[in-house]
Structure 1
Amino acid sequence: MKYSRIFNNQFLLLLFITVLANSVYAQNLAKDIDSVILNVLKDKNGPGGAFMVAKNGKPIYEKAFGKANIEWNVDLTTESVFQLGSMTKQFTSIAILMLEEQGKLDTKQTVSKYIPDYPSGDSITLHHLLTHTSGIKDFTKMKTLGDIAQKEMTPKMMVDFFKNEPDDFKPGEKFEYNNSGYLLLGYIIEIVSGESYENYIQKNIFEKLGMNNSRYATDRQIITKRAYGYQKKETGYVNKTIINFSVPFASGALMSTLSDMLKWQNALNQNVLLKSENAQKAFTKYKLNNGEEFTYGYGWHIKDLKGTPSREHGGSIFGFKTMGVYVPSEDIYVIGLTNCDCNSPTQLVRDIAELTLKGYKK
């Protein structure tokens, strides 16, 4: 009985020391992260950003800086809703894999199977679209984009906008980041599922995962806790350039929050939406026709942080820039959402991830 009491006391003391050490570490990490962020987001009265660090699926750091609305002097919060830009591609790629798992499409199939009249569609596969190796013209680089940027476009109209442009290279010949590919994938999701891309993502991903503050973007409807987008000119901040979200579509038209994006990351880890073997297709490096490996999967860059493997992707759309980094080996997720395209969180989030990783690998 006496030995049992001594053991219990020792265990409680060890537990207290561990909790205290973790608390001190968390406080020091938070100070270091604050310092890194404030070194970039220096204008507290201008647009800023919201940042989160999660470990083992739970937030260990969460903070917002700057204004959600400069005109009304409204602060950003950790619940603010941001446009994701190209982080949308993660949702598009997983939706494609979900449909493949259901037997409704095949990533090895050519575009022609789903869009019969697409030029060179017999040689371009869905895999090429997912990995940015299709060689088709990126519509964001077309000089005539301004003619349609503010128009309501159907997915077919968007495909027709770029489909007759000459290809930049043969499928599988090289990796070149391409928004048109993901727009095509969104259109194929609609053709195969029989419902709009917006509804498919809303019903099968957002609602299923409880991502209640995520949605297809709109400037017309009222969105609670919306972060307004800004750009910076020589004269100061201005409201973002208007774009109709039917134009970026499945390549960049979704909105979300820090907490919803953590739900997304956790769902991917826990194989809520896909079987593990199918989900891994998104996180695999692939090879070009010549056998050369490139560092992109399906909707994620497959990189590393000073030798530790990571999955990363950013986004940029008028008024907003975003970045997310996940470190599988340590289950560390870092995300930054900013509401001025003058503030890129790309290197910032990578620095925070490296800082966090360094602390946990000591």
Structure 2
Amino acid sequence: MKKSTLFLFLLAISSFSFAQPEADTVARIEKIFSRYLPQNPGCQLSISRNGRVIFSKAWGMADLEHQIPLTTESIIESGSVSKQFTAAAILLLEQQGKVSLDDNIRKYFPEMPDYGTPITLRRMMHHSSGLRDWGSVAGIAGWPRTTKTYSNADALDIIIHQKALNHKPGDEFSYCNSNYNLFAILVERVSGLSLADFTRKYLFEPAGMTHTQWRDNFKRIVANRAIAYDKTPDGYETDMPNEYVYGNGGLLTTTGDLLKWNEYYWNGHFGSPSLLPKQLTIEVFNNGTTYPYAAGLYVTKNKGQDYVYHTGSTASYRAILIRYPQSNLSIAWLSNTAQFDGAPYNVVKEVENLFISDQSSKSEASKPDSPASTARKTTNPIPIESLPSFAGEYYSEEAQTTFSIFEKDGKLTLRQAPGVDLVLTPTDLDTFKAPATSRGLAGAILTFQRDKKNVNGFTVTVSRARNVSFLKKR
């Protein structure tokens, strides 16, 4: 009896040792995460291998005002890591026979403009719809996301005001939150359940994700929620996503729950039959080329292995969920601070290096540096005396805002809002660039248009919204 007990005890120790990382690996992880000081905002990290959690820990504070430490059960927002759950809801609706990925979005949103070519749910899922990002358009108007309490209804209102697309559907990959906000609304229109209720019933509960919900009401009390913080020269400031909009982001969760999701769908439990193949199917463009974006997931290669992941960033929350299928390894990381965005190394990459050896080919020669451009830079291509010709009041039905443009001190200036004047830098005869520090217009390109010789309007292009139109009022 004693021998049997001893055997079981030794077996348990052996199993535990096999499941856990070695002591030196744990020490290396601790060193990597030493930048998260106990008194500052922090993060969670959880790692699973072969279906077993082998490491899970939290560092730092969840709430600086009340001095509440961050734990592995603290609820943190996951940003665009959320998109895979919204995509999964659409895939499940298709399996239930309620939608088809080849449906035109106007079947469910007749209020959407007809752009002359169908925008399918498939194109939206893979970010090749051509739709402008509603948050970028709102930013042009001077109200970027989190500066107003936007809802999905607000997002829809901005989307339907767009008279043009960034590109023809299926021509290219252009990341766009509008696709996934529309999906959230679509789920409710088709199923009768909100995305929050639908995913709780069909995703979270079956996967055992007991700490997960959506931020569909940012005012709702969420037990154990970690507050997000931005680091300023004077210390920390709260930087929360005070908005109702969700589906593109807004998933409140823990790293432990994210690992449960990875195990759930990778082991073929999501859908009947398993929807895993559809979750991993990447986009094929009109010209036959592909881009490695599947159903809310990037599907690519890293260190010579298959690599499936998505990052997330909303306000000052940061996130990433990773899967190395061939190593049966999952890594989940959530943080309540943007403090280390510009740090010289990424903590998650450092962790990956501890568990995944580089198996990629070393034979490819390094590419030479691109030669420096010899193009002549024009410092002031527009004569000062011609600046008044650009002056006037301009209105955009698409951005639903008015800009004033005038000449001041020999420079063209754009008044985005009362007290917000932006000096525009000329880059060509009728093209100007907004300052990089602009609110919602950072680095925007303004291209003026003429009716014969007179300026009658301009377009604004930012990273996720191209050629938003402004017409001259006077």
Asked if these proteins are the same fold (TM beyond 0.5), I'd say yes
* Amino acid corresponding to residue 339 of structure 1 in structure 2: N
Q: Check whether the contact 2:135–2:144 (CA below 8 A) recurs between aligned residues.
A: no
Q: Check whether the contact 1:138–1:178 (CA below 8 A) recurs between aligned residues.
A: yes
**Cα deviation digits, residues 58-108 of structure 1 (max 9, x gap):** 111111111111122221111111011111101000000011111110011
Q: Check whether the contact 2:292–2:300 (CA below 8 A) recurs between aligned residues.
A: yes
Q: Check whether the contact 1:87–1:315 (CA below 8 A) recurs between aligned residues.
A: yes
Higher relative contact order (CA 8 A, sep 6+): 1
CA distance in 1, matches of 2:241, 2:13: 54
Aligned to 1:289: 286
- Indicate the SS of the match to 1:43: coil
CA 1:42–1:81 in 2, change beyond 3 Å: closer, same or farther? Answer: closer
Q: Check whether the contact 1:118–1:163 (CA below 8 A) recurs between aligned residues.
A: yes
Aligned to 1:26: 22
CA distance in 1, matches of 2:33, 2:114: 46
Shift of residue 210 of structure 1?
2.5
> Which residue, out of 275, 279, 283, partners 1:278?
275
CA distance in 2, matches of 1:17, 1:228: 38
Shift of residue 51 of structure 1?
0.2
Compute the TM-score of the two structures, normalised by the length of structure 2: 0.67
**Cα deviation digits, residues 205-230 of structure 1 (max 9, x gap):** 22232222111124423322211111
Shift of residue 149 of structure 1?
4.5
Equivalent pairs: percent with the same residue?
Answer: 29
Q: Aligned pair 1:320/2:317, yes or no?
A: yes
* Amino acid corresponding to residue 141 of structure 1 in structure 2: S
Aligned to 2:129: 134
Compute the TM-score of the two structures, normalised by the length of structure 1: 0.87
* Amino acid corresponding to residue 124 of structure 1 in structure 2: I
> Which residue, out of 172, 175, 187, partners 2:170?
172
Higher strand share: 2
Shift of residue 232 of structure 1?
1.3
Aligned to 2:213: 215
Q: Aligned pair 1:355/2:354, yes or no?
A: yes
CA distance in 1, matches of 2:78, 2:322: 14
Kindly report structure 1 stretches of 4+ aligned residues shifted beyond 6 Å.
14-18
Higher helix share: 1
Q: Which has the larger radius of gyration?
A: 2
Aligned to 2:80: 86
Aligned to 1:340: 337
**Cα deviation digits, residues 4-52 of structure 1 (max 9, x gap):** xxxxxxx99x9799769747852222122222222xx343321010001
> Which residue, out of 196, 199, 211, partners 1:198?
196
CA distance in 2, matches of 1:107, 1:170: 18
CA 1:81–1:17 in 2, change beyond 3 Å: closer, same or farther? Answer: closer
CA distance in 1, matches of 2:148, 2:16: 57
> Which residue, out of 149, 155, 158, partners 2:155?
158
Structure 1 residues without counterparts, runs of 5 or longer: 1-10
Q: Check whether the contact 1:84–1:321 (CA below 8 A) recurs between aligned residues.
A: yes
Aligned to 2:31: 35
* Amino acid corresponding to residue 192 of structure 1 in structure 2: V
The aligned length equals 345
Q: Check whether the contact 1:325–1:349 (CA below 8 A) recurs between aligned residues.
A: no
CA distance in 2, matches of 1:307, 1:163: 43
* Amino acid corresponding to residue 337 of structure 1 in structure 2: L
Q: Check whether the contact 1:80–1:225 (CA below 8 A) recurs between aligned residues.
A: yes
> Which residue, out of 72, 92, 100, partners 1:106?
100
CA distance in 1, matches of 2:133, 2:142: 10
Aligned to 2:452: none
- Indicate the SS of the match to 1:112: helix
CA distance in 1, matches of 2:316, 2:151: 23
- Indicate the SS of the match to 1:115: coil
Aligned to 2:424: none
Structure 2 residues without counterparts, runs of 5 or longer: 1-6, 360-474
Q: Check whether the contact 1:94–1:279 (CA below 8 A) recurs between aligned residues.
A: no
Q: Check whether the contact 2:230–2:339 (CA below 8 A) recurs between aligned residues.
A: yes
Shift of residue 284 of structure 1?
2.2
Q: Check whether the contact 1:86–1:316 (CA below 8 A) recurs between aligned residues.
A: yes
Aligned to 1:123: 118
- Indicate the SS of the match to 2:87: helix
Q: Check whether the contact 1:325–1:350 (CA below 8 A) recurs between aligned residues.
A: no
CA 1:233–1:200 in 2, change beyond 3 Å: closer, same or farther? Answer: same
